Each structure stands twice: as structure tokens, then as C-alpha cells.
Amino acid sequence: MAAIVFDLDGTLIDAASDITAISNQLLADRGFDPITLADTHSFLGNGAPTFVARLRAARGVGDDQHAAMLSEFVDLYARQFDHTFLFPGVIDALNDLRALGHHLGICTNKPMEPTRAVLAHLGLTDLFTTVWAGDSLAVRKPDPAPLHAAYQALGAGDGDDRIFVGDSEVDSETALRAGVPFLLYTKGHRKTPAGEIPASLRFDDHADLPGQVAQVLTGL
Ligand SMILES: O=C(O)COP(=O)(O)O
Ligand SMILES: [Mg+2]
């Protein structure tokens, strides 16, 4: 039995299309040109305040718009899921891990309100015992504090088996700083080649996850 914590966007779900649409609505409202899906991928990973700061910088939107844009962004983000989807095989993999007795949690940099909303929308809520978001603590990933908090909520201390599963450079750094094995999903929102992101193992199909967890737990 292990405590397994998952990143959300780019690891279990892909919200990038909706985030692009929301961003372009905020930009259009202010008379600025739209961004692309590739732009969204490059801005994601460090939470909503950083995303909005990167979005503003890309289009030259002034600092005075930051607070209003961030609040509109988070508000829309908690309601707009039409183009947000689960990666193939996620539900089966999570159910398999639970059936094996593992305890599952979430550690995302998204704010809690949209996180809870999208988990409910995609039928994931009951699969996770604990959820830690970008605004749960004063710090967010790559600071390991929310990841440690997730393990603690799952009843796993330093001596227990713990794994973090994510898709990005930020997640890899978080796992390293927390001192736990990291499984990298290679079809998410990473910015550098998968082989250059430190990881215990890498996977491109969630059906491989239970096997990789078993491999990590038996010492690779
Ligand atoms: O929204 C973000 O910036 C990142 O979200 P994630 O931590 O779930 O990947
Ligand atoms: Mg991610």
C-alpha cells in the first residue's frame, strides 16, 4: 500500500482548450489579440496568478488589469468545462490503484474552486481522499509543502511508501524537493523533452500506471 498523489492538469485531465478560450475572452473584452493553444501550454504549470501574469505579458496588458483579470479567470475557470477531458484510461487506472489498496490524493497548482468543480464535472471526486490546490497554503509547487500536506492527509509519513505522478518540470522539482519517487506522464503540458525531466519512470499510457507503481515500490 502506498500514498500516491497526482498532479491534475496535463496528468489526469487536459483543460488547455477551455483555458485558451477563457483567456481569449478576457483579452477580447479588453481589445487585445487572442493567444494560441501552444501559448496556453507554455503559460501553464505555476498556478492561476502566474498564468494571468504570463498572459498579460504576452499581449502587453497593464498591471492595473491584473486583479480583475485574475478574478474573472478563476470565476470562468470554475464553470467552463466543455472542452476539458480526461486522458484515456485515467478512470480505470485510478480504480485499479484503489483496488490494490493505495490511497490517492491530488496536488495541483490550480485554485481550489475550479479544481473541485472540474473533479466533480469529470466524476473524479470520490476517487481521491484529499485535494491540495494552489491556494490551499501560502506556497505552491515546486515548494514541496502542499505535497507533504497531501501525504500527511493520506496518513503517510517519511518512512511510508509515497509516489508523486505529474506532467511537468514543476512537478519533477516538487517530487525531488519532497524526496519522493516521481512518475512523469509524457503527453501533458511539459515544456522540455521528456527525457530531460528527472523522473523515476515515464509513461505515455495510463494503463501502464499500476505496473509502474509496483515497479517503484519494489525498488525499480
Ligand atoms: O493550472 C496550472 O497552472 C497548473 O495546474 P496543475 O498543477 O494541475 O498542472
Ligand atoms: Mg500539470
Could you read off the pLDDT tens digit of each residue along the chain, which spans 220 residues? 899 999 999 999 999 999 999 999 999 999 999 999 999 999 999 999 999 999 999 999 999 999 999 999 999 999 999 999 999 999 999 999 999 999 999 999 999 999 999 999 999 999 999 999 999 999 999 999 999 999 999 999 888 999 999 999 999 999 999 999 999 999 999 999 999 999 999 999 999 999 999 999 998 5
**Residue 73 CA neighbour count, 13 Å, CB half:** 23
Domains in the chain, number: 2
DSSP-H helix ranges across 11-77: 16-29, 37-43, 48-59, 66-77
The pick from 20, 81, 108, 173 for probing ligand 1's pocket by mutation, whose C-beta has the most ligand atoms within 8 angstroms, reads 108
The SS3 of residue 134 is coil
φ, ψ dihedrals at 14, nearest 5°: -125, 105
Same domain, 8 and 30: no
In this structure, what CATH number is given to the domain that contains residue 198? 3.40.50.1000
Which ligand is closest in space to the CA of residue 141?
1
Same domain, 100 and 182: yes
Active site residue 160: no
Full-prediction pTM beyond 0.80? yes
Same domain, 98 and 135: yes
The complex scores an ipTM of 0.98
The pick from 109, 116, 132, 187 for probing ligand 1's pocket by mutation, whose C-beta has the most ligand atoms within 8 angstroms, reads 109
Same domain, 48 and 88: no
| Other CB atoms within 10 Å distance of the CB of residue 20 | 20
Which ligand is closest in space to the CA of residue 74?
1
- Residue recorded with cell 505522478: 165
With a 6 Å cutoff on the Cβ, whether 109 touches ligand 1 is yes
Bridge partner list, 165: 6, 183
Same domain, 101 and 22: no
Rounded distance from Cα 54 to ligand 1 centre (Å): 14
